[in-house]
Amino acid sequence: MTYKILDFFQSNKILNQIVAFLLPLDHNDVANSRKIQVVITISQKYDRAKHASVDGFQKVILPESPNLLLYLQGGPGFGCPVPTSYSGMTKVLLDEGYQIVWMDQRGTGASSPIDYKTLTENLSPSSSVNDQLKTILHFRADSIVKDAEAIRKELIGDDAKWSSLGQSFGGFCSFTYLSLYPQSLKHVFITGGVPPIGFDVDSVYKQTYKRTKERNVHYYSKYPQDVARVVEICKYLKSNEVTLPDGGRLSVERFQQLGLSFGGFGGTDGVHNIVTTFWQDLDTFGYPTVYTLTLVQNAMPFDTNVIYALFQEAIYCSGKAKSNWSADRLRYAPGNEKFQFNEKEIYFTGEMVFKSMYEDYAQLRQFKPLAYALHENDSWSILYDTEKLRKITWKDVPIVATTYYADQYVDFELTREVKQQYLPSCNLRQYITNDLFHNGLHIDPERVLGSMFKLIDNDFD
């Protein structure tokens, strides 16, 4: 394997190296597979005495005894920002003595990012949707983990271990890592990301709808004036064809998707501000202004992070399974009527993907045939080895997690079931809190990480 150092710089107290690796698209056919680029940023404390005279464009710089921590980003479909400020999560981890490896998972950030052109440019002009499907299936958690394992060996050798920190979907990847290469992991930290192993897609989305209902009840109790305002806005959208600045369509369903942010700190306040601005536009002008439409357009990441849409339900598929548009189907299940258009009270939806999105989002339209193929696919790579997971003791690999009681995205009840069924007694120690949401790691990293460090360090009798 070869790597190339793309950038090397010092910012405040942080030394960053951005490193690109060429890795096989298909790890199961290395000899014949084309290569893709996977990019990491290595962040460590800057030491003038050690680093001032080093040429960081020539080789990867690590301490004599590295203490690497791999950060696995949430999503799926999101890269890692390069840290330039000695603050927040970066500061907490560096102060704990880690050198952080921020990996842009394949298909995201700087790691061969997926859009329609990059997905299809290596396929023949006569390629089919099935060819696109075969390609995109190499961007799942098992391939992400195999990338990480190849990078670990290159950085610190076959036998040295590193730790991992998985946020949300990154926690799912952590369990795949534990299933494939537990011997490579020193400690595993997970925040809001214990995967619902053993549960089918519909079971996951039934819980997601429950949690999203709870967040809607909270929203309308906090902002009762928005009950009528949201209905008024949706009636306008149902009666008018509204085009967003980027060419997307603002349908009722797309407007309801603003509820995706309900699961994060300050999310309800942000939605309320958009509702208020939109309602004021209708009251003043009779239509939404470009400013308001841009607010709505920029609130959702699906145009720029298409894997987030394509794999939203696929991350719950392992082996013989089919998603079959679970969120779309369950929207019409008994008890979910408020998620449909009505003139009394309209609920916002949550972390869900619907068929209409492949008409409403400008960048998703070309992916519509592939999206349908993914939802019909019934043969997936195996993401978890449940027998291996059951045998991993605290002595083998300590696993600690921050679990959010009111998590809208990763259900608390399913997490509890997974712990009972698939992890040995005394592993997966949890810091459970009901005063932080899914993005607690970024809102209060000192408390979240500090609590997990204590779980690692302290013995429990």
Q: Please list the active-site residues.
A: 168, 407, 438
CA 168 to chain centre: 6
The Cβ of residue 363 has, within 10 Å, a number of other Cβ atoms equal to: 17
Q: Distance between CA 136 and CA 55 in Å, rounded?
A: 37
Q: Which residues contact 281 (CB under 8 A, 6 or more apart)?
A: 287, 288, 289, 292
Cα–Cα distance for residue pair 461/377, rounded to 1 Å: 47
How far apart, in whole angstroms, are the C-alpha atoms of residue 244 and residue 345? Answer: 25
DSSP character string of 18-64: EEEEEEES-TT-TTTPPEEEEEEEEEEE--HHHHTT--TTTS----S
Q: Which of 251, 103, 86, 119 is nearest to 165 (CA)?
A: 103
Q: Whole-angstrom Cα distance, residue 1 to residue 83?
A: 26
Q: What is the dihedral of CA 364, 366, 367, 373, to 10 degrees?
A: 140
User: CA 31, CA 417: separation in Å to the nearest integer?
Assistant: 41
- What sign does the CA torsion over 410, 413, 418, 423 have? positive
Whose CA is closest to 326, among 174, 452, 445, 207?
A: 207
Give the end-to-end CA distance of the chain in Å, rounded to a whole number.
46
Give me the residues paired with residue 429 across strands. 400
